[in-house]
Amino acid sequence: MQSVIDKLKENMQLIYRRALDADKALASLQQSGKGKFQHVFAEDAGFTVRSKRFSPYVEELGQQMIELESTDNKAEFEQRLIPLVKKMELMLLTLTNFQQSLKDK
């Protein structure tokens, strides 16, 4: 389980750095009158938080990581792991697509 947690932490660091950059870009876009959307992710994306920025979603992932790390039961670990990994994949994909869209302009 520890190797899985270590890999997840690596991905969280990557997500965190990309989210900071993305939030700066979103702030800039919104100041120039662009980026008129309500939430980064749709309601069915699995996140409980609703925000126009990535950072609150990163915080939610961080909280789930803390909960996962404190889990000793293997079945409970796997139960918490699956939604966390899905959210992390969605976050990385969205951040990558967002960064690519900025480069294409």
pLDDT, tens only, 68-101? 999 989 999 999 999 999 999 999 999 999 999 8
Using alpha carbons only, give the angle 73, 74, 75 rounded to the nearest 5 degrees. 95
> What is the per-residue pLDDT across 3-60, written as a single tens digit (0 to 9) for each?
999 999 999 999 999 999 999 999 988 888 776 777 899 999 999 999 999 999 999 9
pLDDT at 85: 97
Unique residue bearing structure tokens 């702030």:
27
pLDDT at 35: 67
pLDDT at 37: 73
SS3 60: helix
Q: Is the pLDDT of residue 105 over 70?
A: no
Q: How many domains does the chain have?
A: 1
Q: Is the torsion defined by CA of 2, 69, 65, 45 positive or negative?
A: positive
pLDDT at 86: 96
Give 43-59 as a DSSP string: GGGS-S---SSSHHHHH
* 49: containing domain: 2-103
pLDDT at 38: 79
Residue 87 and residue 42: Cα distance in Å, rounded? Answer: 12
